[in-house]
């Protein structure tokens, strides 16, 4: 492996353990009620899948996770876990179809997130959806304090400026990402809303111009475009 890959791997190894244990309960609501088979890409320790299983009867959840310690834990709570990365040609997924493919804060860690979204088409059922949570680089506490005021771009071990993020998104660029890679967006919704007096004042002074800056992430539900 090259030095850059080894360096990135080391950064994942130094993250706090709770980084891999966030169940992302706020994303469960975006799983369609009819879903029977889910593929959770970057499933971490399986916390999200376990929460989905609590609310959906007879649902089968597969996970893909490239970090071995997390993959081993996920295998205890999910139906099947592949310790690997998600690629265009995966024999392990041959002839498999899913109602939902989910990316919970994963696409921003990829070199080519659009290419990976393209891979998903072949694994979706006819009415299948991709569900994704994607961080918002315009998130008020980060964009104003870190970038506008301090005029800096300082990486951290987690959050919007996570040192393992390779891509950064706004709401507009998220929509473009999906549209450019063969998807129609069913919904895009801000989640994990920031509330503070400073934000309220700033937003009022700009006549609600920065209304999208209150959200830490966007939740996207998208389907493959029909020919």
CA distances from 4 to 7, 9, 10, 126 (A): 5, 9, 10, 39
Strand, coil or helix: 80 = strand
Mean pLDDT of 93-104: 96
Closest listed residue to residue 80, CA positions, set 99, 59, 95: 59
Mean pLDDT of 23-50: 96
The region that residue 219 occupies, defined by phi over 0 for left and psi between -120 and 50 for alpha, beta otherwise, is beta
CATH architecture of 3-136+162-193+215-224: 3-Layer(aba) Sandwich (3.40)
Indicate whether 1 pLDDT > 70: no
Q: Structural domain boundaries of the chain? A: 3-136+162-193+215-224
Pairwise CA distance, residues 64 & 79, whole Å? 11
Q: 162-207 pLDDT, tens per residue? A: 999 999 999 999 999 999 999 999 999 999 999 999 999 989 999 9
Pairwise CA distance, residues 39 & 125, whole Å? 12
- Residue 112 backbone phi and psi in degrees, to 5: -130, 75
pTM of the model: 0.90
Q: 48-64 pLDDT, tens per residue? A: 999 999 999 899 999 99
């Amino acid at each position: 492996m090259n030095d850059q890959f080894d360096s990135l791997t080391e950064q994942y190894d130094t993250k706090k353990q709770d980084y891999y244990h966030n169940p992302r309960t706020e994303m469960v609501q975006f799983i369609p009620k009819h879903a029977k088979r889910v593929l959770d890409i970057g499933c971490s320790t399986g916390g999200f899948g376990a929460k989905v299983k609590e609310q959906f009867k007879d649902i089968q959840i597969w996970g893909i996770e490239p970090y071995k310690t997390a993959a081993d834990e996920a295998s205890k709570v999910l139906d099947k876990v592949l310790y690997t990365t998600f690629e265009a040609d995966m024999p392990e997924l041959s002839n498999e179809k899913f109602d939902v493919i989910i990316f919970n804060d994963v696409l921003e860690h990829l070199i080519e997130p659009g290419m990976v979204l393209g891979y998903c088409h072949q694994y979706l059922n006819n009415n299948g959806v991709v569900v994704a949570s994607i961080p918002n680089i315009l998130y008020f506490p980060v964009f104003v304090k870190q970038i506008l005021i301090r005029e800096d771009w300082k990486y951290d071990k987690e959050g919007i400026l996570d040192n393992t993020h390779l891509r950064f998104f706004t709401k507009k660029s998220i929509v473009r990402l999906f549209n450019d890679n063969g998807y129609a967006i069913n919904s895009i919704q801000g989640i994990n809303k920031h509330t503070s007096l400073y934000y309220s004042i700033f937003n009022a002074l700009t006549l609600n111009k920065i209304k999208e800056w209150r959200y830490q992430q966007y939740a996207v539900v998208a389907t493959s475009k029909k020919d």
